[in-house]
A and B are shown apart, each in its own frame.
Chain A
Amino acid sequence: MSASMSLSSRLTTTVAKELVVAVSGLALTGFVCMHLAGNLLILIGPEAFNAYAEKMQEFGPLLWVARAGLLAVFLAHVGTAISLARANRAARKSRYDQHNYVGRRSPATRLMLLTGLMVLMFAIFHVLDFSVFGHREGPRSIVEGMNGGASLGLWGVVYSSFGNPLRALFYIAAVSCVGLHLSHALSSVLVTLGVLFDKGTDRAELIAKAIGAAVALGFASLPAYVLVRTYLIGVAG
């Protein structure tokens, strides 16, 4: 046997790399769900959401530890997935003249790399937009005709941002990518982790699609809420 059984060689095969993508992906899914739960407070009102945002700040240095951890998981997920995708591309150098897919792979499966890259670019923009340049007492926190022109904190920043239909649509497109990505990932991950066998596949795929749709709709409800309130009901509402 020419194989090397050292731990380092065991941890660098494609199967091991898939495990890295799967486990980091699950952790990121956990983050996305918590992020969604927090964001839904926007629907309740400025007090609830701003109180939640302030509470997060109270963690102080721990918040930076959590951020660093999240970044590390994110980089591991993206880096490993890209390394696998490159190897997969290299595995077929000459292309078929015709290649018809006859299995049951969904568009979400086909678009994994694309939706993943879209989410990556969106995540960078999003952090810059709402954390770095979205100062919670700055001019963006003031919503015209609301609160007598006084700052509405982070809630105001979000509200005034989504008042711009282009921004709102961009955000909806981005969270749709997140949902589409999850709708494949959450059943695929069960195969990688060695738990999903033939019998449960249909149900797992259905649940994955449901979660993907729920996450996308949950996030999309925020810009939708602002747009409806701004253009249909009127600001004062």
Chain B
Amino acid sequence: MAGKTINLKIKVWRQAGPESKGEFETYDAKNISVDASFLEMLDVVNNQLERHDKEPVAFDHDCREGICGMCGAVVNGVAHGPQTATTLCQLHMRKFKDGDTITIEPWRAKGFPIVKDLVVDRSAFDRIIQAGGFVSVRTGQAPDAHAIPVPKKAADEAMDAAACIGCGACVAACPNASASLFTAAKITQLAKLPQGHPERKTRVIAMVQQMDKEGFGSCSKHYECEAACPKEIKVSNITNMNREYMKAMLSPDV
């Protein structure tokens, strides 16, 4: 069964390496099935490029089902493209019209140096999480699951924050390239639960300091992060981070 196909042009960022000067190249993407995902469209273009002995466009991807956080690019000026609450791999070509020219750029932020083409180094996020340190747990036998009571509201808020997949779209979309939404989600996820309480104060200070050290900007409340987030992480997490920070900032027992 031959489904509907469209022909597109893609204007994509090509950069050979971290130190190279990048530039846009335009390629034809012909006979693209509207049922293909955005990444599958890039696969088709890459096959063509390889057939002509050209370097394929490098892009990050892993699960291709919207849960790993590896993929992502700024498509026509919007992180992860035009569909809200959707990662790039779950964006389908039926969202585009025949004859469209699609501009594809990597996340641009000082904290996310470009490795190649659309691939950026997001290890800054790993270091922010590492800075948060450990969570004290009782060693020995596993406790009963119901041994620590967690209020329903706290459990829900922690779970919503934990939906963050660390893709970096918040940084990409933010006019300040701020990592506040990511950092706030990670802080909130642990601060809401009783298990996260012993290191609560040192954690928020250390993670915010690491966020600054990585060269991300600060939050000016533009809320573009929330609009771009494929997991619909709320700005409320940033409010919560600020609240946690204030409590820890002047606390004598940090």
Contact = CB atoms under 8 A, between A and B. Distances in A.
Interface of A: 1-5, 7, 9-11, 13-19, 84, 87-105, 109-110, 112, 184, 187-188, 190-198, 201
Interface stretch (B40-48, B61-69, B91-99, B234-242): B234-242
B133 A94 contact: no
Chain A CB within 10 A, most for which of B13, B103, B177: B177
A195 B110 contact: no
Given A99-B77, A105-B222, A1 B217 contact: no
A10 B177 contact: no
A231 to B, nearest CB: 41
A88 B217 contact: yes
Given A1-B206, A100-B78, A197-B236, A10 B224 contact: no
B108 A94 contact: yes
A95 B107 CA distance: 10
B76 A100 contact: yes
Interface of B: 11, 13, 22, 24, 74, 76-78, 84, 103, 105, 108-111, 114, 131, 133, 173, 175-178, 202, 205-206, 208-212, 215-228, 234-236, 238-246, 248-250, 254
Contact of B242 (A84, A98, A104, A194): A194
24 contacts: A1-B131, A3-B202, A3-B210, A5-B205, A7-B250, A11-B249, A13-B205, A13-B245, A15-B242, A87-B217, A88-B218, A91-B215, A92-B110, A93-B110, A94-B108, A95-B108, A97-B24, A97-B103, A102-B228, A103-B225, A191-B238, A191-B239, A191-B242, A197-B240
A14 B213 CA distance: 10
Q: Please provide the 7 A-B residue pairs with the shortest distance between their CB atoms, ordered closest to farther.
A: A194-B243, A98-B77, A103-B227, A100-B77, A3-B206, A91-B217, A88-B176
Contacts of B211: 14
Contacts of B244: 194
A13 B212 contact: yes
A109 B176 contact: no
Contacts of A198: 234-236
A213 B218 CA distance: 27
Contact of B246 (A88, A95, A194): A194
A193 B222 CA distance: 16
Nearest to B238: A191
A15 B246 CA distance: 9
Given A13-B212, A88-B176, A99-B74, A192 B242 contact: yes
A5 B215 contact: no
A91 B235 contact: no
A72 B126 CA distance: 40
Contacts of B225: 103
Contacts of B84: 102
Nearest to A4: B209
Contacts of A193: 242, 246
Given A15-B245, A97-B105, A102 B223 contact: no
Contacts of B212: 13-14
Contacts of A192: 219, 221, 242
A14 to B, nearest CB: 4
A105 B224 contact: yes
A88 to B, nearest CB: 4
Contacts of A10: 205, 248-250, 254
A196 B239 contact: yes
Contacts of A194: 239-240, 242-246
B202 A1 contact: yes
Contacts of B177: 88, 91-92
Contacts of B245: 13, 15-16, 194
Contact of B108 (A3, A92, A104, A109): A92
Contact of B223 (A84, A89, A103, A190): A103
A195 B13 CA distance: 41
A187 B221 CA distance: 9
A88 B111 CA distance: 12
Contacts of A88: 175-178, 217-218, 220
Contacts of A196: 239
Nearest to A11: B249
Given A1-B202, A96-B77, A98-B74, A17 B103 contact: no
B226 A103 contact: yes
Contacts of B176: 88, 91-92
